[in-house]
Structure 1
Amino acid sequence: MLLRPRAKFLSLAEELLSYILTFLSCKDILRCSSVCKALRQTYLSSSELQYITELSGQQLLPAPGMDLDNNSSIYKRLQLLRDKAHAWFKLDIHSSKTVFIPEPFRRLTNTFVVDGHLCLFNEDQQLAKIFPILPKPSQQIVIEHEWSLESLRPVPNADCFDVIMDPGENLIAIAYVIFGLPTDDAKIYIDLGVLDGDGAHPQAAGRTLFLSNTVFQGNILASDKLEITICGKYITFWHTRRRSFVYDEPNEEMWWLQIWDWRHSTTSNCVISGPKGQDSSGFCFLGNDRLLTVSKDLRLYSIENLSQAPQLLACFLMPVSMTSIDSPTPMNDDIARNGGLQLHAQRTMWTSDPKNRLLGFTAQIQNDASNSFTFVISTRIFFDLQVGRMATIPWECWGPLNSRIFPHDPQCDFDVCGNRVLHTFPATSGKDSSQDMGYKLHLMDFSPLAVERRQGLGKVVSEPSTIDITESAEKLTTFLPYVVVEFDRTFDADQLIDIWFEGDRIYLPKPNTEDPDSDTAGELEVIDIEWGSYILQS
């Protein structure tokens, strides 16, 4: 009996070859395209294969629910994706517009930007407001609303201490305390509502979230810090308590964090508490099922089941003893949203991959006020726990290859979005250190395709950098590669109160001209990254 020769893979039609390759990862697609000319030609002829590798190279994911249609072909998306990456390197930092911040809301501690909206809360006057910042014609959700003292407080003796808004979820969370008798006995609640009205949220499990007794135990001290956050399907309550001891005893800080899935339950057993004496600067979500707390070390937790206490997965040790750690940059955009209920104010085509983003924070070396540093860390290390399978992972095993450390000037600010960092640095050191030489804004892109997409713009930094720790005479060397662009505009020290960086916009809060010595902002300078029509039409 004659055996028929087996059909060879390369003899298949090019369309079928392309279809089969789409099931592979980006790395495997590139490997296949490098083994022979036929597969290379298949790759070059397929917009879909190039789109897959482009997304991976920029460390992005397709936005949930944004299926391909006739109005946005893969070829068009591929071109827009490439244009967007290049546009950041040729950003016109001089082209901006101004938005004024209303008088009662000029303290930045209660002012933030979410989904192209300015969200404001005045705790003293018990007022809140949200409005769109220079909305674009294609923006599908535009919310503008104000809350008075009466509308914020559910009962007359309630005192609102935090208000958080999320236009993408049409959600407002109002945290308030009700004092009882005796006066130090207090109850805290979090009420949920809609931003575009005054009713209950239709997707919420209930109107009010209830705190665990382990998080809040009935009294509020003057030193307590109480905060709430919204991160897509999650709402959190953060309680920090600092006690002062007599004589030369240091302050001891204790903290508790409770997490709810607000669509499914008004109660939660997902509570994390910090070790005594170990200050914590904050936390951030890594995808839908992981949470990272930032302190003298980085602790990674699994939060897959909110009916149980979080499970500690690993403890990542920092390189030196740190103190005065700033809160980590928020990572709630595009991370913990539920695709089926997502309502972005701007329906973008891509979101950041939580497994390949950046975490940023500043820290001061203990007992050395002159040494302050900015840490930029890739989140990929928190998803790859194969490093020796240790519960406690030394800095040398995870830090150098997954981070960059920069000297931090007290006058400098920075923000992180996806794989890009905006950071201000002194324009020049100058011969006279007392002379104010101004500051310049730097863009650092850490995505793997940044080198290719810069098209001759910016400087590639692939060599390691070393930081000297004067107190301990240690040297910290880090290797994470990036491309940096220094923009041709110099800011005075008092011109840069902060940097907010969201999507395709940069927001620079400007000082209040009526009271230049205060820490309030009177206006926002808004800089758009122009790279084409990246918003999908409805």
Structure 2
Amino acid sequence: MAVGFLSLPTELLCHILLLLTPRDLCCGAIPTCKTLCYAVQNSAHIQYKLELYAQGFTETATLDSIGISRKMHSLKKLESMWRSDFHVNIVFQAEVTTSATHGAQYMKSGLWWTRRDHNLFIQECNPDIKLFRTWPSHSLSLRSQHILQSVIVDPVQDLMVVVSSPSPHVANDADQDHCVFSMEFYMLSSQLPHPDSACASLECKHTAEVPAVYCVVCLRGPVIYGDRIVIPYFIEPHPGSPAIHIQVVDWRKGQAQSFPLGQQSGQLGMSRHFHLIDQQTLVVIGTNGPITLYTLQEPDGSPQRRITYILPQYSLPRPFYYVVHVTTSFRGAAARPDLMPGYVPSLEPQIMVLEVVLPPSPVILVIDMAIFLQQAVHLETPVEIPWSDWGPHHTWCFPHHPSHRISVFGSRMAYALPQDRTPEPGERLEALSTNDRFYVHIWDFNRRAIARSEHTCDPDSPNLFVRKPGRLAELPLCRKITSNNPYIATVCHTSFSTRNFSGLFLDQDRFTMTWLRSGSVVDIQVVSPAHTEVGSDPTN
């Protein structure tokens, strides 16, 4: 006698339902079927899977040995961490002495680093270790007549990549392959060649179009996602506007190949940004220009333009530019499992924040990166999508000042503002003064978390933290990019000094701030919400 699907034992039903995606579990017939609803609600594994989906996280191998109840407990703790206004406890603080020249600062998985005067300074922000290392310029082995272009650091993969290019050189023959970049692969922890790379060094080649003296211009970047590195560049001199190329590198296999990107350098301006969303998806953002999505085709990584997202066009007396904030990638084999968090942001709810530095009224544009994943990227013909078809539905727009520091982790944005209350819709705040206090606001743009808050909160309660940006009417530009999508706003009520404030870095359960003091001293302070166990690790 045949047995119906709903007549199967609950345990077997749960095993079958676990094969479905969280999206499938939340829609279709399952929510309306009492038998399936009962199975879902009474399965700890399904509830954990749905909670991961709701919070926008992916579990890493760090949690493989942890039981399901402890996983759910740690996940719920993460959710409560930023769900209400809070004060903080100090997790770590240190003074770091670097060179006198100030350079860009970076932070990932508890490691802070900066490169100044060709020296690399690394601080491990762990209260039990407090390790500080310096890589002097002479230890970064460069070939003779080469210029240091960039240093790529990925703490989780214990990887440092030194990228250099030759001085202007002669290509005597057209169609001649010549070296445009040399790459050296080191272990970040030991300064030894990285054992997971097929070669300690790699030459990246480019085919000369005509005999000439060539100079390599490396654009903003490079960018890394797991095994893949993309280096954007162009060659000078070149008749007209030089074409942009990319080197697509597999650093583990020791392979590199050059491809034209199909854009001229003049089309994108000098302040272009490149971001790898995943191993196969590259997004290019140009000054005053559109956002262009490419797929990197297997097996060699050749780029194919798929979609161009048009941004509003403005006629302004002065030029403007973008500053881009995204989450760094956690993809790749974890050579340092101690630095890999138990949960990392999944791709769908992540955000990209564009600071539109636009005098006299700068704004920030928060983009839901799900649009880059949901669109049909296997189109035969590239398409353009006008702002009206994607902007109002997938963005948030806020007034801004460049002194208000920004950091992004997953769907959340940390924002340094001069007041301890959430700005009113459309409210423009003054700049951070040089000798006052600032407050760190945490804004969450995860649509599933927002829907949950709207469902569970009392609309009459003063603790309702779901907000909307409101309308900006200062300039015709602002009206063009205004959207009215909800977001969750919380604020840290502990204030911090604006004097010499230089960096803000958001992590999963904490944020880090830095101050540049007299000359070469950097103060680093890591804090975590006070209503959670400071420094707690779900793997313990």
Which bracket does the TM-score occupy, shorter chain normalised?
A: 0.7 to 0.9
Q: How far apart are the structure 2 equivalents of 1:214 and 1:406?
A: 45
Aligned to 2:39: 42
Contact 2:350–2:411 (CA under 8 A) maintained in structure 1: yes
Read off the aligned partner of 1:534 and give its amino acid letter: D
Read off the aligned partner of 2:26 and give its amino acid letter: L
1:286 corresponds to 2:277? yes
Greater displacement, 309-318 / 503-512:
503-512
Aligned to 1:74: 68
1:285 Cα deviation after fit = 1.1
Question: Cα deviation per residue 1:166-214 (whole Å; 9 max; x = unaligned)?
Answer: 22112111123443778xx996422112223343222213222323436
When residues 219 and 82 of structure 1 are mapped into structure 2, their CA distance, relative to the original with a 3 A threshold, is same
Greater displacement, 378-387 / 453-462:
453-462
1:146 corresponds to 2:151? no
Contact 1:98–1:526 (CA under 8 A) maintained in structure 2: yes
Q: How far apart are the structure 1 equivalents of 2:473 and 2:336?
A: 47
**Secondary structure in 2 aligned to 1:173?**
strand
1:412 Cα deviation after fit = 0.9
Aligned to 1:413: 405
Aligned to 1:118: 112
1:99 maps to which of 71, 78, 94: 94
Matches within 5 A, 1:316-331: 316-321=309-314, 324-331=320-327
TM-score (norm 1): 0.81
Question: Cα deviation per residue 1:436-478 (whole Å; 9 max; x = unaligned)?
Answer: 5854321111221256479869644365632336145844332
Matches within 5 A, 1:29-428: 29-31=25-27, 32=29, 34-63=31-60, 65-66=61-62, 68-69=64-65, 72-90=66-84, 92-96=86-90, 97-104=92-99, 107-109=102-104, 111-123=105-117, 126-135=118-127, 145-155=133-143, 157-179=145-167, 188-213=181-206, 219-220=214-215, 227-239=221-233, 255-272=244-261, 274-275=263-264, 276-279=266-269, 280-295=271-286, 296-305=289-298, 307=300, 309-321=302-314, 324-334=320-330, 337-339=331-333, 343-365=336-358, 369-386=359-376, 391-427=383-419
Read off the aligned partner of 2:362 and give its amino acid letter: S
Q: How far apart are the structure 2 equivalents of 1:136 and 1:38?
A: 50
**Secondary structure in 2 aligned to 1:269?**
strand
Question: Cα deviation per residue 1:148-167 (whole Å; 9 max; x = unaligned)?
Answer: 34321344654434322222
1:485 corresponds to 2:514? no
- Among all aligned residue pairs of Structure 1 and Structure 2, give the percentage whose two residues are the same amino acid: 18
Aligned to 1:11: 7
Aligned to 2:522: 522
Q: How far apart are the structure 2 equivalents of 1:189 and 1:536?
A: 40
Contact 1:240–1:254 (CA under 8 A) maintained in structure 2: yes
Q: How far apart are the structure 2 equivalents of 1:130 and 1:237?
A: 23
Contact 1:224–1:242 (CA under 8 A) maintained in structure 2: no
Q: How far apart are the structure 2 equivalents of 1:215 and 1:406?
A: 46
Q: How far apart are the structure 1 equivalents of 2:260 and 2:327?
A: 20
When residues 252 and 422 of structure 1 are mapped into structure 2, their CA distance, relative to the original with a 3 A threshold, is farther
Read off the aligned partner of 1:19 and give its amino acid letter: H
Read off the aligned partner of 1:314 and give its amino acid letter: I
Read off the aligned partner of 2:471 and give its amino acid letter: T
Contact 1:176–1:188 (CA under 8 A) maintained in structure 2: yes
Aligned to 1:248: none
Question: Cα deviation per residue 1:53-73 (whole Å; 9 max; x = unaligned)?
Answer: 11111112222x45743xx11
Aligned to 1:246: none
Q: How far apart are the structure 2 equivalents of 1:406 and 1:118?
A: 29
Aligned to 1:449: 449
How many corresponding residue pairs? 502
When residues 286 and 181 of structure 1 are mapped into structure 2, their CA distance, relative to the original with a 3 A threshold, is closer
When residues 143 and 206 of structure 1 are mapped into structure 2, their CA distance, relative to the original with a 3 A threshold, is farther
Q: How far apart are the structure 1 equivalents of 2:408 and 2:479?
A: 27
Aligned to 2:175: none
Contact 2:510–2:526 (CA under 8 A) maintained in structure 1: yes
**Secondary structure in 1 aligned to 2:472?**
strand
**Structure 2 gap segments, 5+ residues each:** 171-177
1:25 Cα deviation after fit = 2.3
Contact 1:325–1:364 (CA under 8 A) maintained in structure 2: yes
Contact 2:89–2:529 (CA under 8 A) maintained in structure 1: no
Tell me the C-alpha RMSD between the 2 structures. Answer: 3.8
Contact 1:175–1:191 (CA under 8 A) maintained in structure 2: yes
Read off the aligned partner of 2:361 and give its amino acid letter: N
Aligned to 2:515: 510
Contact 1:99–1:526 (CA under 8 A) maintained in structure 2: no
Aligned to 2:24: 28
Contact 2:404–2:432 (CA under 8 A) maintained in structure 1: no
**Secondary structure in 1 aligned to 2:255?**
coil
1:419 Cα deviation after fit = 0.8
